[in-house]
């Protein structure tokens, strides 16, 4: 495996797909916040999710409600996508040097 | 004579098959090594560390700048991260702690992933060897 094509193939196979990592991280974080919010909504009570709703400080518009779970999913997905993308890009730069 | 020639043909075919098998293995091994390549633990740890540091630093900056986030008890992280506070100095301390914790977590994730991959490869290889030697007694 010494030709330029082989080297390119090798680095492609060994690298992480940054976009896929971003989507995966985004889905995990987004899905996690979505489910956590819905769980508290379904559970109910006098003040549902009094701690989780503090996330509204960082995610404007987020509340512990059904609509808030969708808003939270979007925010957490975007944040997770950014984190996954950073991990993929930094790994590829370091590991494939 | 015809019998001898048939046996000779069989022997040559067997040798040819053996050479072909060796040739195939030679070609396949590098490809298999790539297919089952382990993650670089230090690189993965560093990558997750950078992400963790950026995350904690960004959270702290938002907490400092945004009036909405004033009530968010981010300072409670000081229970785990010595020296951390929701201040400009805490941004740097938080980044260092975020990098450290995320580096360890990422390194461990890569280690577990490589270990699981090694177990899978070992299982495949053992199964293949057992399948190859299954009819061993028939050839004695």
CB contact under 8 A, B47 and A14: no
Q: How many domains does chain A have?
A: 1
pLDDT over 90 percentage in chain A = 70
Q: Is residue A64 part of a domain?
A: yes
- Quote the mean pLDDT of chain B: 85
Interface predicted TM-score (ipTM) of this complex, two decimals:
0.83
Q: Is residue A35 part of a domain?
A: yes
**Is the distance from CB of B55 to CB of A83 less than 8 angstroms?**
yes
Residue-wise DSSP of B80-123: TSTT--SSHHHHHHHHHHHHHHHHHHHHHHHHHHHHHHHHHHHH
Does the pLDDT at position A87 exceed 90?
Answer: yes
CB contact under 8 A, B68 and A90: no
Q: Which residue, among B32, B47, B56, B98, would best test binding to A if mutated, counting the most A CBs under 10 Å from its CB?
A: B47
pLDDT band at B2 (very low <50, low <70, confident <90, very high): very low
| A11-40: average pLDDT | 92
pLDDT band at B6 (very low <50, low <70, confident <90, very high): low
Three-state DSSP class for residue B40:
coil
d(CA B123, CA B118): 9
Q: Is residue A56 part of a domain?
A: yes
| B3-31: average pLDDT | 63
Q: Is residue A7 part of a domain?
A: no
Residues 6+ apart with CB under 8 A from B77: B56, B84, B94, B97
Residue A15, token pair as written in the block? 């690298």
pTM of the model: 0.79
Task: Determine which of A76-85, B13-22, B59-68, B122-131 has the lowest per-residue pLDDT on average.
Answer: B13-22
In angstroms, the Cα distances linking B41 to A8, B32, B88 are 22, 20, 32
In angstroms, the Cα distances linking B140 to B98, B136, B137 are 64, 7, 5
Does the pLDDT at position B92 exceed 50?
Answer: yes
Q: Is residue A10 part of a domain?
A: no
Q: Is residue A47 part of a domain?
A: yes
> CA of B52: which chain A residue's CA is closest?
A83
Domain region containing A89: 18-95
Structure-token match 């590991």, residue found: A95
Q: Is residue A79 part of a domain?
A: yes
Residue B123, token pair as written in the block? 């299982």
């Amino acid at each position: 495996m010494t030709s330029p094509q082989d080297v390119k193939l090798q680095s492609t196979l060994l690298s992480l797909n940054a976009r896929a990592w971003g989507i995966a991280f985004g889905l995990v974080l987004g899905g996690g916040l979505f489910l956590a919010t819905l769980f508290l909504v379904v559970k109910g009570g006098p003040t549902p999710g009094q701690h989780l709703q503090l996330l509204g400080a960082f995610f404007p518009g987020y509340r512990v409600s059904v609509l808030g779970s969708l808003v939270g999913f979007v925010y957490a997905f975007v944040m997770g996508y950014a984190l996954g993308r950073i991990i993929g890009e930094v790994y590829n730069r370091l590991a494939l040097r | 004579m015809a019998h001898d020639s048939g046996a000779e043909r069989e022997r040559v075919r067997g040798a040819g098959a053996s050479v072909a098998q060796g040739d195939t293995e030679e070609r396949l091994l590098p490809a298999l090594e790539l297919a089952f390549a382990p993650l670089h633990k230090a690189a993965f740890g560093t990558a997750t560390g950078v992400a963790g540091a950026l995350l904690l630093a960004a959270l702290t900056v938002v907490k400092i700048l945004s009036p909405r986030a004033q009530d968010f008890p981010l300072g409670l992280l000081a229970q785990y991260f010595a020296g951390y506070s929701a201040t400009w100095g805490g941004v740097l301390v938080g980044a260092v702690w975020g990098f450290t914790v995320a580096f360890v977590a990422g390194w461990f994730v890569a280690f577990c992933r490589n270990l699981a991959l090694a177990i899978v490869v070992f299982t495949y290889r053992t199964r293949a060897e057992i399948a190859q030697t299954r009819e061993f007694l028939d050839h004695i």
